[in-house]
């Protein structure tokens, strides 16, 4: 079972959109003030939380459907073996007559 959780671009975008000048050389002085980046961090955390919740819900349904498909495959294999056995018996009874 694999779990793939994509990194949503909005979580990165939340920090970049917060203040486009954060990438500039004088951005270190802006980082001294938490209020400057708090909005972007908040957006990034919310986006990550919603992404994780969505991934868990999707994983649940994926596991449910995979288990149903596995059960159907097992039933089909068992019934195909029974069918082949019946055909073999039918062929054997025709040859003995």
**How is the chain split into domains, by residue range?**
9-96
pLDDT band, very low/low/confident/very high, at 38 (cuts 50, 70, 90): confident
Residue showing tokens 């990194």: 7
14 CB-side CA count, 13 A: 16
The pLDDT of residue 29: 60
Residue bearing the bigger pLDDT, 89 or 41: 89
CB 47 within 8 A of CB 8: yes
pTM over 0.85: no
**Backbone φ, ψ for residue 8 (5° rounding):** -75, 135
pLDDT over 70 at 5, yes or no: no
Burial of 8 (0-12, 13-18, 19+ CB in 10 A): middle
């Amino acid at each position: 079972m694999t779990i793939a959780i994509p990194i949503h671009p909005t979580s990165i975008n939340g920090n970049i959109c917060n203040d486009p000048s954060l990438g500039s050389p004088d951005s270190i002085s802006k980082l001294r003030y938490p209020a400057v980046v708090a909005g972007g961090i908040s957006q990034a955390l919310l986006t990550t939380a919603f992404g994780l919740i969505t991934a868990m819900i999707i994983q649940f349904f994926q596991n449910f459907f995979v288990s149903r498909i596995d059960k159907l495959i097992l039933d089909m294999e068992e019934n195909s073996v029974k069918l082949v056995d019946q055909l073999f018996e039918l062929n054997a009874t025709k040859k003995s007559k």
